[in-house]
Amino acid sequence: MFIAMKPHATQADFDAVIEKVRSLGLTPHPISGTERRVVAVVGNTGAVDPDDFAMLTGVAEALRVSQPFKLVSREVKEEDTVIDVDGVQVGGRAITVMAGPCSVESREQILETARAVKAAGARILRGGAWKPRTSPYEFQGLREEGLKLLALAREETGLKVITEVMSTDTVDLVAEYADILQVGARNMQNYALLERLGKVKKPVMLKRGLSGTIKEWLMAAEYIVAKGNPNVMLCERGIRTFETATRNTLDINAIPVVKSLSHLPVIVDPSHGIGIRKHVAAIARAGIAAGADGIMIEVHPKPEKALSDGHQSLAIPEFAELMREVRVIALAIERPVT
Amino acid sequence: MLVVMKPSATEAQVDAVVEKIRSLGLLPHAIPGAQRTAIGITGNKGGLEPSLFEGMPGVREAIRVSQPFKLVSREMKEEDTVVDVAGLALGGSRIVVMAGPCSVESREQILEAAREVKAAGATMLRGGAYKPRTSPYEFQGMAEEGLKLLALAREETGLRVVTEAMDVENLAMVADYADMVQIGARNMQNFSLLKQLGKIARPVLLKRGASATIREWLMAAEYVVAHGNPRVALCERGIRTFENATRNTLDLNAVPVLKSLTHLPVVVDPSHGIGIRAHVPAMARAAVGAGADGLIIEVHPCPEKALSDGQQSLTPGEFAGLMAQVKVIAGAVGRPV
């Protein structure tokens, strides 16, 4: 259920609503929008009559939320959520570009990539320090050493840093270094991790599970928000289908569908979504044209020597060309690229 | 195998190669191209030795085609195929928009839809006269009466007509009325129908099967071309996945993958691909952004009264809005609509 306050409701009116929610044994989640203040009510609201709230002073309306996800739904919050990543806005008019190598491999590699993607116009640097590799025998990441190198690259270039956190025991460590914590596809329904991320002060990017339906994905986001962290962005990275000509099937349908169901920003990862270097740009254009708020692209100074995902990583000049193509599409739909 | 002739090769030298292919019990296929003359070979069981042809006068090289699809592959023909649909070019730089109702329902309905989509900038009219409905109890289409109405709408508006043929029996009649014959997703691997399509004098729009891989789809197109009809365009319309928030999952990955594997034009159907009216324009924009050569969009004068697919059909007003958005993206990728 959610309770929307009238524009001129006082703080006392608001507090009275919160008090009443608590007295019923339910949890209030205040949501501030520019238009109006809303209180989402979480818990077993089956026996509660919305009219009991609608008659309180300062309340405009009290409605049940029809979707199983509440705090992340557009029903509860109509306006787009704009996430402030240490000064870079994600989810506003501007399209956010995140780029960098699949894995942080060395000081030289991450610094060279960071400088190049910055020069081409990216604002956020990606790079994995903990890598969820299918095979236990493959490169697993540089761990804390990788985080330090990402921090160094941030210091040198001013780029913000996004990197993956794989388990609850490294959340604090990763949060110390990263500006955005990424949850990978394989962890989309790792509920212990999601709950722990609800307590973190940094924004979270939640990738879609390989077989996660849109509803399951939004429920996973709901876990993080319900536990206290409203700064969640979603990332479509391709789903598992019968098609084998591509690594995954990028579900671009999900972009308009999620944008209509949820107020959270939607990022697209065409690198994993198609998995073929020469086609990444076409799919990045499609993602932007469909209404994505940002793109995440794998870039490596020497893709053929990359320790992971070389076949889908762009060389630096290819990334610069992709940025030109993306800017043209973004301009056509009147969105700047940052 | 592909035998590429030198630019200076004479007609007699080309004929000699064709003759040699026939003498080996194989089938020669002339591959038209602005840059070069080439002859595709099919019918061989194993690999052929390039030396069989490379010594012949006028021959530049003989290349093995690595893909299982031959005539439709980019290896055989590097340049994009431009399919001529009664004078309209599909597959050139211009993006072709096909629009109209799911089914032809009445004279008024199809004429009104045709006038509206034409006014908004479509150049082809879609409309089913034979409908492959999941349930045998639902509206099955107006059959020949529907074809006549489509012909009437063409006469009145000048739009080219694309409509579905469902089986071998009605193919000749559909081809009589249509400018382009559509093969629906459920018939993508109806091989007897595909073979017959090779014999007709109309271009074919081959939709992707709901569970067909890109390779299977290209092999289906190969059937049509191998049986004599090179005028084939492919249509991505969404595949079957676990996701149930949308009717299908529109596989836009297929657009750049196909454009690199084949020279055939690629059309996208966002109406079936997402199945939700409000989101059709976003997916149409995405398709053009990904590099599609055309779009096919369901438009109905009164979607809520449509006999089929009302939930994904646009009103004429919504379609005009979609066209404006598509033009913006097309302009950005340097293609007129």
User: ipTM score of the complex?
Assistant: 0.88
pLDDT of residue B237: 98
- Residue linked to tokens 């190198």: A149
Q: For residue A30, report the phi and psi dihedrals to the nearest 5 degrees.
A: -65, 135
- β-partners of residue B160 are B124
Going by the DSSP 8-state scheme, the letter that residue A300 receives in this structure is -
**Which chain B residues have a beta carbon less than 8 Å from that of A251?**
241, 243, 249
Tell me: the pLDDT tens digits for B44-65?
888 889 999 999 999 999 988 8
Task: Classify each residue of A23-52 as buried b or exposed e, where b means 16 or more C-beta atoms within 10 Å of its C-beta.
Answer: eeeeebbebeeeebbbbbbbeebeebebee
Rounded to an integer, what is the distance from CA A320 to the centroid of its chain?
24
Same domain assignment for residues A112 and A29: no
Q: Hey, where are the domains in chain B? A: 2-63, 83-332
Do both A274 and A150 map to the same domain? Answer: yes
Residue with tokens 């009264």: B305
Q: What is the Cα–Cα distance from A1 to B244, expressed in whole angstroms?
A: 25
A337 neighbourhood in chain B, CB within 8 Å? none
* Same domain as A96, residue A194: yes
Q: How far is A68 from chain B (nearest CA, A)?
A: 14
Are A268 and A119 found together in one domain?
yes
pLDDT at A159: 98
Facing residue for B273 by CB, picked from A253, A255, A291: A253
The pLDDT value recorded for residue B334 is 92
Q: In what order do the strands lie in the sheet with B27-31?
A: B27-31, B38-42, B2-5, B59-63
Same domain? A286 vs A202? yes
Q: Are residues A112 and A54 in the same domain?
A: no
Range of A99's domain?
83-332
- Closest of A86, A104, A82 to residue A294, by C-alpha: A82
Kindly determine whether residue A332 and residue B278, on different chains, have CB atoms separated by under 8 Å: no
pLDDT interval class at A325 (50, 70, 90): very high
- The verdict on B257 touching A (C-beta cutoff 8 Å) is yes
Question: For residue B167, what pLDDT is reported?
Answer: 96
**What's the pLDDT at B234?**
98
Considering only the beta carbons, identify the residue of B246, B273, B286 that sits closest to A286.
B286
Are B106 and B322 in contact by the 8 Å Cβ rule? The answer is no
Q: Say which CATH number the domain at A12 has.
A: 3.30.70.1140
Q: What is the pLDDT, as a whole number, of residue A36?
A: 73
A105: which DSSP letter?
-
> Is A249 a member of any domain?
yes
- How long, in residues, is chain B? 337
Average pLDDT over all residues of chain B: 95
- Give the residue from B165, B134, B122 showing the smallest Cα distance to B147: B165
Here the tokens at position B277 are 């009216």
Q: How many domains does chain A have?
A: 2
Asked if residues B329 and B285 have their Cβ atoms less than 8 Å apart, the reply is yes
Q: Pairing mode, if any, of strands A180-183 and A204-207?
A: parallel
Return all residues near A90 (Cβ < 8 A) that are at least 6 apart: A82, A83, A96, A203, A233, A265, A267, A293, A294
- What DSSP letter does each residue of A9-60 carry, written as one string? --HHHHHHHHHHHHHTT-EEEEEE-SS-EEEEEES--TT--HHHHHTSTTEE
Amino acid identity at A155? E
Name the average pLDDT for chain A: 94
Domain for residue A73, yes or no? no
Helix (H) or strand (E) holding A185: none
The verdict on A70 touching B (C-beta cutoff 8 Å) is: no
DSSP at A161? E
A76 domain residue, yes or no: no
Report in angstroms the alpha-carbon separations of A272 from A74, A236, A241, B155. 28, 9, 14, 48
Same domain for A149 and A29: no
| Chain B contact set for A333 (CB, 8 A) | 285, 328-329
Chain B within 8 Å of A24 (Cβ-Cβ)? Answer: no
Q: What is the CATH number of the domain that holds A121?
A: 3.20.20.70
pLDDT tops 80 at residue A32:
no
Cβ partners under 8 Å of residue A56, min gap 6: A13, A16, A17, A20
- Spatial neighbors of B45 by CB under 8 A, at least 6 apart, are none
Residue A241 forms part of a structural domain: yes
Helix (H) or strand (E) holding A175: helix A171-177
Q: How many CB pairs under 8 A join A and B?
A: 135
Quote the CA–CA distance of A270 and A284 in Å, as a whole number: 6
**H-only helix segments in chain B:** 11-23, 51-54, 107-120, 144-157, 168-177, 191-197, 214-226, 254-261, 270-274, 280-290, 316-332
What does the pLDDT look like over A309-323, one tens digit per residue? Answer: 889 999 999 999 999
Q: Are A256 and A121 contained in the same domain?
A: yes
Shared domain for A143 and A229, answered yes or no, is: yes
Separation of alpha carbons A330 and A97, rounded Å? 12
Mean pLDDT, residues A165-178: 97
Best mutation target, A253, A258, A335, to test chain B (most B CBs within 10 A): A253
| The model's pTM | 0.91
Spatial distance between the Cα atoms of B118 and A205, rounded to a whole number of angstroms = 44
Task: Please measure the distance between the N-terminal and C-terminal CA atoms of chain A and give it in whole angstroms.
Answer: 36
Q: Do B287 and A255 touch (CB under 8 A)?
A: no
Residues 155-214, chain A: which have Cβ within 8 Å of B? 211, 213-214
- CATH topology assigned to domain B83-332: TIM Barrel (3.20.20)
Pick from A211, A238, A279: which is nearest to B242 by CB?
A: A211
pLDDT band at A33 (very low <50, low <70, confident <90, very high): low
Q: What is the pLDDT of residue A274?
A: 97
User: Is A12 a domain residue?
Assistant: yes
d(CA A306, nearest CA chain B) in Å: 24
Q: Which residues pair with A163 in a beta bridge?
A: A181
Which of A232, A268, A234 has its CA nearest to residue A250?
A268
Give dist(CA B57, CA B13) in Å, integer: 6
CB distance A281 to A322 below 8 Å: yes
For B20-75, give the secondary structure using H, E and C: HHHHCCCEEEEECCCCCCEEEEECCCCCCCCHHHHCCCCEEEEECCCCCCCCCECC
Tell me the pLDDT of chain B (337 aa) as tens digits: 999 999 889 999 999 999 999 999 999 998 877 677 889 999 888 888 999 999 999 999 998 888 889 999 999 899 999 999 999 999 999 999 999 999 999 999 999 999 999 999 999 999 999 999 989 889 999 999 999 999 999 999 999 999 999 999 999 999 999 999 999 999 999 999 999 999 999 999 999 999 999 999 999 999 999 999 999 999 999 999 999 999 999 999 999 999 999 999 999 999 999 999 999 999 999 999 999 999 999 999 999 999 998 999 999 999 999 999 999 999 999 999 8
Instruction: State the DSSP H helix or E strand holding residue A181, giving kind and residue range, or none if neither.
Output: strand A180-183
- The answer to whether the beta carbons of residues A66 and A60 sit under 8 Å apart is no
Instruction: Give the pLDDT confidence of A122-160 residue by residue, as tens digits.
Output: 999 999 999 999 888 989 999 999 999 999 999 999 999
A253 with B243: Cβ contact below 8 A? yes
CB contact under 8 A, B332 and A278: no
- Whether residue A35 has pLDDT greater than 70: no
Using CA atoms, how far apart are residues A255 and A97, in angstroms rounded to an integer? 16
Q: In the CATH scheme, what is the code of domain B2-63? A: 3.30.70.1140
For residue A159, tell me if it sits in a domain.
yes
Q: Are A111 and A65 contacting, i.e. CB atoms less than 8 angstroms apart?
A: no
The torsion region of residue A91 among left (phi > 0), alpha (psi -120 to 50) and beta comes to left
Is B332 an 8 Å CB contact of chain A?
yes
Helix, strand, or coil (residue A279)? helix
Q: CB-side exposure of B82: number of CA atoms within 13 Å?
A: 11
- Chain A closest CA to B213's CA: distance in Å? 5
- The answer to whether position A252 is within a domain reads yes
